[in-house]
Amino acid sequence: MSLAVVFLPDTALLVPGAAGRADPAAGLRDAAVAALADLAGADARGGRVLVVAPARGDRFLPHPVAPGLGAAGLLLPDVAPAVGSAPAAGAGSAPAAVPGAEPGAAIADVPASAALVLLRAARVTAPVDVLEIARPAAAPATDAPPSGPDLDPAAGAHAVPVADAPPTGPTDPGPAAVAHAAPGDLRALVVVGSLSARHGPDAPLADDPRAPDADAALLAALAEGPAALARALDDLGPAAARDLAVSGWAPWRAALALLPAGTPDVTATTDVTATPGAAATPRTPHAEVVAGAQHAVVAWRVTGPDDTDVHPHAPHHPEEPR
């Protein structure tokens, strides 16, 4: 059995129409939908998709989950079955109703909602659970796990440790972990997070000269595999990740914690240090700087424990032959 891992950017600009007539993230969206479309073929085999995304608080939302983009001032596009919008529910609050959503569906925060919209655009119909991880500014002050559903790891759940302590390997997230869980047979991870949001005058935060080097290291690690990514996140550390506004730091660590022990790296054969606006070559992330933030789309395929392997690859672009 294999596990697909797709890394998506953390930006509402992925939602069609988010920037009005301008569409600065069109290339990222095309790459993301192409990567997610590969998951649609896995629907017949059963299993679940877990979306891991930054949010305003820690929450686990079991299927059904509906997208809500009201907090970003956006309407849901026609590609999603739920037509309309509602503010994303905060941790511990009752979800707002979204027309067209399944009865009882929780409303995801904006980053996970953008991923849900793209999953629908890619025609992925598997059940989707959402794990939301508090952004650093909103992280809990203690190591106690946040309140949430009482899920039993012994009953087939997948434990996801998340903490500020740097990991020592792809399946060792550190001792101060906050445990979350996602039930069921996991077929795919969709991990939402971006690199530094401090690039140039268009960035949402002030330009930081450390951002290019930090992003180059993270892009190279994403192209190499789990152990390289764990080392890169360790080298960056939580403080620098906060300073550079790297929203992928905690979600990427959570994803690494779900991979089989001993998952090796595969070294990419091409340079992944992408320049702003440029698409990377095959076996590298599709990387672009949009609105002053570095984003990337990359997919891994992890095979079963008897033949564990990971193959980082660039998602197929729609106009290119497979």
Asked whether residue 179 is assigned to any structural domain, the reply reads yes
Element (H, E) at 224: helix 211-224
Asked whether residue 177 is assigned to any structural domain, the reply reads yes
Q: Which two tokens stand for residue 189?
A: 């991870």
Supply the pLDDT for residue 103: 63
Task: Give the amino acid at 249.
Answer: W
Asked whether residue 320 is assigned to any structural domain, the reply reads no
CATH number at residue 43: 3.40.830
Helix (DSSP H) and strand (DSSP E) numbers for the chain: 5, 11
Asked whether residue 119 is assigned to any structural domain, the reply reads yes
CA distance 91 to 222: 30
Cis bond leading into 305, ω under 30°?
no
**Residue span of the structural domain in which 252 resides:** 3-142+150-293+302-307
Supply the pLDDT for residue 3: 84
98 in Cβ contact with 82 (< 8 Å): yes
169 in Cβ contact with 225 (< 8 Å): no
Asked whether residue 314 is assigned to any structural domain, the reply reads no
Supply the pLDDT for residue 38: 82
Asked whether residue 313 is assigned to any structural domain, the reply reads no
What SS3 state is found at 306?
helix
Q: DSSP labels for 99-162? A: TTSPTT-EE--HHHHHHHHHHHHTT--S-EEEEEEE-GGG--SSSSPPS-----GGGT-EEEEE
Asked whether residue 322 is assigned to any structural domain, the reply reads no
> How many folded domains does the chain comprise?
1
Reference 226, options 33, 21, 7; nearest CA is: 7
Asked whether residue 315 is assigned to any structural domain, the reply reads no
Exposure letters 223-245 (e unless 16+ CB within 10 A, then b): bbbbbbbbbbbeebebeebbbbb
Q: pTM value?
A: 0.73
CA distance 48 to 114: 18
pLDDT means over runs of 10, the chain (322 residues): 87 76 83 88 72 93 81 51 35 42 77 92 92 72 36 38 42 36 73 95 93 96 92 96 96 90 53 32 71 92 59 46 38
